[in-house]
Amino acid sequence: MGENITAIIIALIGAITGVLAFIGQFRKGRAEAADILTDTATALIVPLRAEMGELREQLYDLRIENERLRYWAKALVTQVVQLGGVPVPEPPAANETKQRNPKTHLL
């Protein structure tokens, strides 16, 4: 009977060791998964930030160009009127004629 108790104790110690090892691997796996997610997110965010910076620069340049062209258009209208002509009507606002470009919009 003493041998049976010894065998049971040894089996329990082995089972507890196995459970602890499983828990340790599970936690290690979760930590590795978190590291992979972090690395992936960082790898995706860095190029997006760079592209966003480039797009902001383009937007700034386009706004400057738009302002320059508006000034030029106003000068042309003034010139046409001064020469006795009638300028063409102003086109509708951009938000009235905006159409989605399927290459740049998903909706």
Q: Where are the domains of the chain?
A: 2-86
Biggest alpha carbon distance in the chain?
121
First-to-last CA distance in the chain? 76
Full DSSP string of 16-33: HHHHHHHHHHHHHHHHHH
- What local confidence, expressed as pLDDT, does residue 107 receive? 43
Q: What is the pTM of this model?
A: 0.50
pLDDT at position 42 is 79
What's the confidence (pLDDT) of residue 31?
A: 74
Q: In whole angstroms, what is the distance from residue 99 CA to residue 94 CA?
A: 9
Q: pLDDT digit of tens for each residue in the chain (107 aa)?
A: 556 777 777 776 777 777 667 676 777 777 777 777 777 777 778 888 888 999 999 999 999 999 999 999 999 999 999 999 998 888 887 776 666 665 655 54
Neighbouring CB atoms inside 10 A of 42's CB total: 9
Question: Rounded to the nearest 5°, which phi and psi values hold at 103?
Answer: -80, -20
Q: How many angstroms from the chain centroid is the CA of residue 40?
A: 13
